[in-house]
Amino acid sequence: MKIFEGKIVDVVKREVYGGKVFVEDGRIKKIERCQTSERKYLVPGFVNSHVHIESSMVTPQYFAYESLRHGVIAAVADPHEITNVCGAAGFDFMLKDAARSPMKIYFAVPSCVPATKFETSGAVLDSAAVARLLKNKRVVSLGEMMNFPGVLGGDKEVLAKLAAAKKLGKPVDGHAPMLSGEALKKYAAAGISTDHESASYEEGLEKIQCGMFVQIREGSAAKNLKALAPLFKLAPEKLMFCVDDLHPNDLEKGLLWSLVRKLVAEGYDSFDVLRAATYNPIKHYKLDVGLLQEGDSADFIVVSGIKKMKIEKVVVNGQIVVSGSRSYFKPASAKGINNFNRKRITAADIAVRSDTAQVRTIKAIDKEVFTESALMYASLEGGYLKSNTKTDVLKLVCVNRYNPDAKPAVAFVNGFGLKAGALASSVAHDSHNIICVGTEDKYIVKCINRIIGNKGGLAVANRVRVHDIQLKVAGLMTSRLCKKVARDYEDLCYWARMMGCKLNAPYMTLSFLALPVIPKLKITDLGLFDSERMEFVNRVQ
């Protein structure tokens, strides 16, 4: 039997008391109250309520290794990205790799594969496949229902997926940016119980009033904590934390842990904040994750204080998996899985003839996944549209990674600020075709062809050379330590900044320019897409 002593933070009863925790066979056999001179606090481990592990660019074992170091002992992962690329085989890969780590990684079955019919994905997950996957004991929900028009319009496949989750008593996660009024009420009434897309206090409040949980998102691109934190004053019991999409440099910093520290330091009720990080997601998703109660699984962290919350130890199933700077879990490399079949492109493939320089332009917004739409001016040279670095209207290309001969889609984007060079990625939500922005066709072609040669990854081309990160697992992930991937990623971002880019997370922003379910104007491999009208539009109005 193991005994842990300290000041026990009981988020269930909302009290702190001195005590000893007796652990046997991975569970808490007894908690004994006592006077203690021990200054350490025992706190339930944190839960990341919604995350796409793939966005960290590391496989689940390596994601777990880094998360555990920061007290995140459990997560609800939606493997939407790899499932769009590799189908059910991708989902199975994530389950098996995650099972090899001590972190309690639960899963949501992706509900929208493909996300829309307006892009080319690598797989289709129909209602029958979804119903089968939902039966897995490590699956706790139906993943974010991005197809809210399908919910509101009564699409048969969408309703069948919702019914399958309801039959098994598993909640349905939402994805409803800017949905409001009667449409939101109908969406929530369909059984959708969470949403992580709220970007304003008013939006979050309306969703709570419809009975939904609001998952406060603070990821690498979308940062909504500041806007949504005041909801703790009104409805703390309806809040959770999530990171959604987190690049390796932010995963290494322990972003979820820092959110808890930040809010407590700002004066928010510590129990409300801790319950959002522990109790609320555990109860909502019915996770077998302990809350420092007798009979619970022995899952907790030992910290130096409630405000500073320096992590001393991390305990999962009664085993110390992290002590100080030392981790007792060693991740292993995974056998790769991929779906990549693309011929190299030439400058002729992305040439665009036009008789006007005015183009419908995607306006990228720093730290947001939303975009705006505007009429701006590219360069017109010899009857061909080119990037215009003076107006910051740059050529944007999306290339189908699954069809070797498909013609690339070309549009224009404002907000990257590049003066010379190009950025490209095979991480492009949600179908993960290749996306690239650049100042000249020669740089764009170099970047895209490097990724094609690597069968996935990130690249930056400048006047001297092409720098890259190879992502061998589905063109999304690699089996490497997060700190090493983070250094390589930061190098690419450094070169982007040296080329003039001012965005906080240029590759994250780039990846969301291909997501047609979030307003307003996006690009898919099939063309320029208006996400509000749900239709393709011309480059020239």
Mean pLDDT, the chain, integer: 95
Res. 541: pLDDT tops 70: no
| Residue 139 DSSP class | E
Higher pLDDT, 308 or 24: 24
Q: Residues 437-451: pLDDT tens digits?
A: 999 999 999 999 999
pLDDT tier for residue 115 given thresholds of 50, 70 and 90:
confident
Instruction: Identify the pLDDT of residue 505.
Output: 87
Average pLDDT over residues 265-272: 95
Q: Residues 343-358: pLDDT tens digits?
A: 999 999 999 999 999 9
CA dist 377 and 359 (Å) reads: 6
Average pLDDT over residues 368-388: 94
Res. 476: pLDDT tops 70: yes
Burial class (CB in 10 A: 0-12, 13-18, 19+), 127: middle
How would you label 62-100 residue by residue, b for 16+ Cβ within 10 Å and e otherwise? bbbbbbbbbbbbbbbbbbbbbbbbbbbebbbbbbebbee
User: Model's pTM, two decimal places?
Assistant: 0.93
Q: Where are the beta strands (DSSP E) in 11-112?
A: 15-24, 27-33, 41-44, 46-51, 72-77, 104-109
Q: Residues 236-261: pLDDT tens digits?
A: 999 999 999 888 999 998 888 889 99
Q: Residues 128-141: pLDDT tens digits?
A: 999 999 999 999 99
| Residue 418 identity | L
For 137, the 3-state DSSP assignment is coil
Q: Residues 134-182: pLDDT tens digits?
A: 999 999 999 999 988 899 999 999 999 999 999 999 999 999 988 999 9
Percent of the chain residues topping a pLDDT of 90: 88
Q: Residues 53-70: pLDDT tens digits?
A: 999 999 999 999 999 999
Percent of the chain residues topping a pLDDT of 70: 100
Instruction: Identify the pLDDT of residue 116.
Output: 83
Contact present, 204 and 214 (Cβ < 8 Å): yes
Residue bearing tokens 């982007």: 496
In angstroms, the Cα distances linking 280 to 43, 289, 475 are: 15, 12, 34
